[in-house]
Structure formats: structure tokens, C-alpha cells
Amino acid sequence: MGMKDILTGLDQYEVFLEKLQKEIDQIGDDRIIIVYTDIKHFKYINDTYGYKVGDALLQDFVEEFMGKADIIICAARVYSDNFVVANRVPPDYCSNEEFRDLIFKLNQEREAKFREKYLNSRLQFCTGISVIDINSRSLDAETAVSNANLARKVAKEMESDSCVLFDQSMMEGIKREVEITSSIPRALAQKEFQVYFQPKIDTDTLELIGAEALVRWQKQDGSFVYPDEFIPLIERSGQVVDVDYYVYREVFAFLAKRLEEGKKVVPISLNVSRVHLQKMHILTYVKELLEEFPIPCSLVEFELTESIYLDNTERALELIRGLHKIGIKVSMDDFGSGYSSLNLLSKLPIDIIKLDKVFLKEGEMQESDRIIISCVVDMAKKLKITSLCEGVETQEQSDYLKEVGCQMQQGFYFSRPIPQAVFENLIEK
């Protein structure tokens, strides 16, 4: 029972569950509030500063994490940078929502302190909370922690809120996630996934010079499952690789067929998920596609988001070099959405940068955004990198991009993503 985590001195998880269960069995008017927290971007610390600094950060975190020692029943390091603490809260202490607000505020204070100490760390504390009271004492300890962890996962997906209180509706979300992920093999087999194309436009001539391939899911009954729902789910499950490979094959076949028929073609860019960097099968698959569909490598391009580079720069570099060896260009998507974009350009041999739409605000363009776009485009030119700005929605934006010399544009001002048949008609114009 005295087993402790060597690094932090906290209880091991199994011991924590035993202690928590005893408290649940004896619960009265007090509430037990479970707080489950992980450290987002902790891997960056280990990769950048080394594991020694990472261990020191975890020890610092535990000191902060145990700040409300007067109400803490027990605490444990679940694994790596995941921690859980159980608090006994008297009826008059605060409401569940007030407790959530307190943790949220503490998270913000801790983040500011840690970012100052560990520079450029982008650390964020993502927290889920579950509550046990006399009415829910039938819950066992493991389920209570699981509920808090589920709320933590929800918090991790959110940009605006790093602390989430568990509620039953989250279980409906889990059911929906299972429904979607279990349907993927059938949807692939029945070709429910369709490739849509969003045109890329030459800034000077306003002519079509390429497109980005995007996936859409239309079920047999005609209803759509929208990308903002299914893409995050299949990324978490790893199924995004199967869907991506489906899209790659469709695009390669599309280009090969048009070339065989003597029709006009334009380069198509394909998106790469962070999951590809974990498995690194993508290079082998691309080579297999090129053998099956012998198209010029200049007709395909691969897009990696800035966040993928940041999460695993070495693997990203390995992939870029592999694609370049084949003769395929690589672009950095969402450029400018992170804090270290400029630093990345000095490390990675990028062919194209896609300026994030964050610089193109709705309404009249801000002077600060104009200056940033101008500087980035100028820098790209000097580095011999092609620039493309996405999210173009107005003529004003388009005209300004032409003024500063941005070579390509993409956005609803020109076209939304369109089905293959419509895209083919556009090519022929």
C-alpha cells in the first residue's frame, strides 16, 4: 500500500484507486471531486531540453498540482504527464461549477509561470473534472476517474477552455465516436468517401493552376458526415491513414486517366496526417502508386500542417527528404498559426508555404496583418519558396495579395471545394 511513483512521490495509480474506493464507500454530505490533468505539449520539452529537464518540470508541476492539500484525499501519477487527484469538498465549500472555475484559473496561472520558466514551451494544462456525491455513490473509483479523463479529452480538443466538467452528454459523444469509427471500413469498401477539389489560383493571371484534394463522406442514404466531425475521430483511431490512402489512390488514378485521354491536368496537393509520421509507411505507398499510375511527380504535392512539423520535426524532415528524393514537392500548411514558423523555415526544406487564413480577417484588412503578410511573402521570395495564401474571401484581399507578390491564392472568393465532375469542367475552361 505504500507504493509510490519514484519521480514524483505520488501514489501509484492502483493504490490511488483503492484509497478512492474506500472514500466513495464512506461518502456522506461531502462531495468527492476528481481532477484529471495532463500537460499538453510536454513532449516538446523532452525533445527540446532533454528528459532531465522534463523530469524537473513534472516535479515542479506536482508541487503546483498539490497546492490545495487541505482538501486532497489522494493523488497519483497515472502515466507520463497524466495526473489525477481526488478532493473532499464540504457542501458549503463551493458549487461544482465554482470548483471548475477555480481549477481553470489555477491552470492559467500555472501555465504563465511554467512558460516563463520553460521558454517557448507552449505548455497547457488540460483538465477534466468528475463529481461523486451521495446520489452517485454507486459509481466505482475506476469509472469516476474514467469520467474525469473523458472530460479531460474534451478539454484537450478545445482551444478556448482547458478545464471541463463531466456530464452525461459526453457519453453520447463516445457512442457517436464508436459509431463513426466502426463504420469506416464499410464506408471505404462501398466508396462512400468522395474526393473534392478546391482550386488554387495564379495571382497574376487569375487562372487555375492547381487544387487541394479534400475528402467528403456521403453515406448510402445520401446524408453527409462532415469533415470537422469525422476527421478528428479517425485521426485519434489511426484510421485516417486508410482514408488518406484511399484519397491518394483516387487522385493518382484521376490524373493518370486524364493524361491517358490527352486531357489537361493541374497539380493536386494531398494532405498528410500526423499519424503518417508515426508509421512512416507513406513513402512506400507513394512509390507503389507511382508504379501503378506512372504520372509525372510534378503533378502531386504533399501538405503538412505547421503543427505536425512542431510535434515531430525530425520525422517531418525525414519525410520531406524522402518525397524530394522521389521528385515530389512539399508545402507547409497553416503557416503562421504557431509561434515558431520562421524558425521552422530555417530547418525544413519547404517548397511552398500556405499562409494561414488567420491573417485574412473578416471585413477590412488590418494594417498589422498587411505588414505580416507582406514580410512573409518577401521572406519566402528570398528563400526561393513559393507563397500561397488560403482563406481568400474578398476582392480586397485578393488585390492586396497581388500587390505584395503572393504567387498563389485559395479560398471561397474563387471557389469552395467542388466534386470531381465540376472540377473537370473547370479545368477545361
The enclosing domain of 397 has a CATH number of 3.20.20.450
Mean pLDDT of 347-375: 81
Element holding 31 (H helix, E strand):
strand 31-40
| pLDDT of residue 151 exceeding 50 | yes
| Same domain (yes/no): 413, 293 | yes
Query: How many angstroms separate the CA atoms of 208 and 134, rounded?
Result: 65
Domain end among 121, 150, 167: 167
Tell me, yes or no, whether 289 lies in a domain: yes
5 in any annotated domain: no
**Does residue 339 have a pLDDT over 80?**
no
Residue finishing a domain among 143, 167, 191? 167
Tally of residues, the chain: 429
Please tell me whether residues 161 and 179 are part of one structural domain. no
Cα distances (angstroms) measured from residue 159 to each of 11, 111, 232, 271: 31, 14, 14, 22
* Cβ neighbours of residue 157 closer than 8 Å, sequence gap 6 or more: 232
Which residues have a Cβ under 8 Å from the Cβ of 415 and sit 6 or more positions away? 198, 199, 426
* pLDDT value for 190: 93
Does residue 2 fall inside a structural domain? no
pLDDT band at 1 (very low <50, low <70, confident <90, very high): very low
State yes or no: pLDDT of 200 exceeds 90. yes
Structural domain total, the chain? 2
Of 28-42, 120-134, 181-195, which gets the smallest average pLDDT?
Answer: 120-134
Tell whether 190 and 329 lie within a shared domain. yes
Determine the pLDDT at residue 275: 83
Shared domain check, 289 and 219: yes
Q: For residue 152, give the H/E element and its range.
A: helix 141-157
> Which of 31-35, 212-216, 244-248, 304-308 has the lowest average pLDDT?
304-308
Q: Which of 139, 167, 195 is the last residue of a domain?
A: 167
Question: Do residues 86 and 114 share a domain?
Answer: yes
Q: Identify the three-state secondary structure at position 122.
A: coil
Q: Is residue 287, in this structure, part of any structural domain at all?
A: yes
Q: Tell me the C-alpha distance between 174 and 181, whole Å.
A: 10
Share of the chain above pLDDT 70, in %: 94
> How many Å apart are CA 266 and CA 208, to the nearest integer?
8
pLDDT, residue 85, reads: 93
Q: Is the pLDDT of residue 354 over 70?
A: yes
Residue 305 lies in a domain: yes
Q: Which CATH number covers residue 73?
A: 3.30.70.270
Examine residue 384 and state whether it is found in any structural domain, yes or no: yes
Greatest mean pLDDT among 31-45, 60-74, 130-144, 249-263 lies in 249-263
Mean pLDDT in residue range 307-326:
84
The average pLDDT across 107-130 equals 82
Question: Is 35 contained in some domain?
Answer: yes
354 assigned to some structural domain: yes
Contact indicator for 234, 240 with CB cutoff of 8 Å: yes
* 163 lies in the same domain as 227: no
Reported as a pLDDT band with limits 50, 70 and 90, residue 338 is low
120 and 187, same domain (yes or no): no
Sign of the alpha-carbon torsion through 62, 143, 139, 11: negative
Task: Say if residue 118 is in the same domain as residue 267.
Answer: no
- How large is the average pLDDT for residues 289-316? 87
Residues 130 and 215 in one domain: no
Closest by alpha carbon to 132, among 35, 36, 37, 33?
33
Same domain, 56 and 155: yes
Span of 13-17, 246-250, 315-319 with lowest mean pLDDT: 315-319
- 138 and 233 together in one domain: no
Looking at the fold, whether 156 and 26 belong to one and the same domain comes out as yes
Domain that holds residue 130: 13-167
Of 89-93, 173-177, 199-203, where does the model show the most confidence? Answer: 199-203
